[in-house]
Amino acid sequence: MQKRKLGRSGPEVSAIGFGCMGLNHHRGPALRKEDAIALLRAGFDRGVTFFDTAEIYGPFTNEEIVGDALAPVRDSVVIATKFGFKDGRPNTGLDSRPQSIRRMVEAALLRLKTDRIDILYQHRIDPDVPMADVAGAVRDLIGEGKVLHFGLSEADDQSVRLAHAVQPLAALQSEYSLFWRQPEASVLSTVEELGIGFVSYSPLGRGFLSGTMGQNTSFEAANDQRKTNPYLAPENRAANQPIIDAIQSVAKEKKSTAAQIAIAWLLARKPWIVPIPGTTKVNRLEENIAAAAIEFSEEEMGKIDEVFATITPHGDRYATAPRPQAQK
């Protein structure tokens, strides 16, 4: 597996990471814990060294799985987790008060079975807590060695700049894919200017870009968040078929899968972008990892951009259509 450095101050990680959320949260029936642990270790055995979790996944149990899985190889991996919701539960509102950040970190260290968190993200911007206070709290934890690097998730340009001025950011994590390209509007240029890495979650558009979803695909599990994603509504899956057709055309030329093209495209965008696809299956894990070997020339990237310039995506990411919030 190739390695990439997250920005100027961040850690070196595998070019493709592992988004752990779907192991037991928001993606249907949870894997048995022993199976989830085996899958994460399989990822490490195949070269993955970057694993992403959060306290709200589960809540809390996802961090426990990651901790158990990676304890034997702790010094060879980079673990990222996130704070920012009251009591670690997304339906209780935001909470990035310094005392809450510290309490979350102390608990997460126990669940992760480690003495430090490699990257600590603010999961969502809390408009009620000044960014200087948030970044200052993380800076203190870095000074104590409990956190190594600071990151933001789904943040706007202003918040990135405010945070970075207090404690340099290693990474910004946001959704970014051939379907959802909103980060290109401004924030990608901001992180490039400041020397911050970019971590792409949902690089496969919650599975849509794999080309395996049809108009009749259903999400039966009560906890499968995809059933509420507007762009995965049956009518939008049909309307977005040109996106899949375009990706599959490139995949045919490259003798690869649509999922691999979607991941490889992100890798080709910038050397400091790291996608973190998630999966519950070893064969999909291996498929994702193999995308790191696919290369695009500038001419090929230009042709892909030309094709996608003629395609309009249908549907938003969430029913409430959130956008990165600005800090006061």
In tens, the pLDDT along 42-97 reads 999 999 999 999 999 999 999 999 999 999 999 999 999 999 999 999 889 999 99
215 three-class SS = coil
Among the CATH numbers 3.40.50.720, 3.30.1490.100, 1.10.3470.10, 3.20.20.100, which is that of 3-308? 3.20.20.100
Kindly list the domain boundaries of the chain, sorted by start residue: 3-308
SS3 content of the chain, % helix, strand, coil (to 5): 45, 15, 40
pTM of the model: 0.94
Residue 214 has pLDDT above 80, yes or no: no
User: Residue 115 CA to chain centroid, in angstroms?
Assistant: 23
- H/E run at residue 172: strand 169-175
Residue 218 has pLDDT above 90, yes or no: no
The confidence band for 327, taking pLDDT boundaries of 50, 70 and 90, is low
Instruction: Say how many C-beta atoms besides its own lie within 10 A of residue 115's C-beta.
Output: 9
Q: What pLDDT does residue 321 have? A: 47
255 three-class SS = coil
Mean pLDDT calculated for residue range 192-216: 92
CB 167 within 8 A of CB 136: yes
- Which amino acid does the sequence have at 76? S
Which of 117, 81, 118 has the alpha carbon at shortest distance from 6? 118
Q: What pLDDT does residue 328 have? A: 47
What amino acid positions are annotated as catalytic residues?
A: 57
Residue 15 has pLDDT above 60, yes or no: yes
The confidence band for 316, taking pLDDT boundaries of 50, 70 and 90, is confident
Helices (H), the chain: 33-45, 61-70, 98-111, 131-143, 157-166, 187-194, 234-239, 241-254, 258-269, 282-290, 298-308
Residues 6+ apart with CB under 8 A from 161: 190, 194
Q: What percent of the chain has pLDDT over 70?
A: 97
Provide the b/e sequence for 36-47 (b: ≥16 CB within 10 Å).
bbebbbebbebe
Q: For residue 155, give the DSSP letter.
A: B
The confidence band for 212, taking pLDDT boundaries of 50, 70 and 90, is confident
Q: Which long-range contacts (CB under 8 A, 24 or more apart) does 186-193 make?
A: 186/157, 187/155, 187/156, 187/157, 187/160, 187/324, 188/270, 190/157, 190/160, 190/161, 191/7, 191/160, 191/272, 192/270, 192/272
Q: Between residues 4 and 230, which one has the greater pLDDT?
A: 4
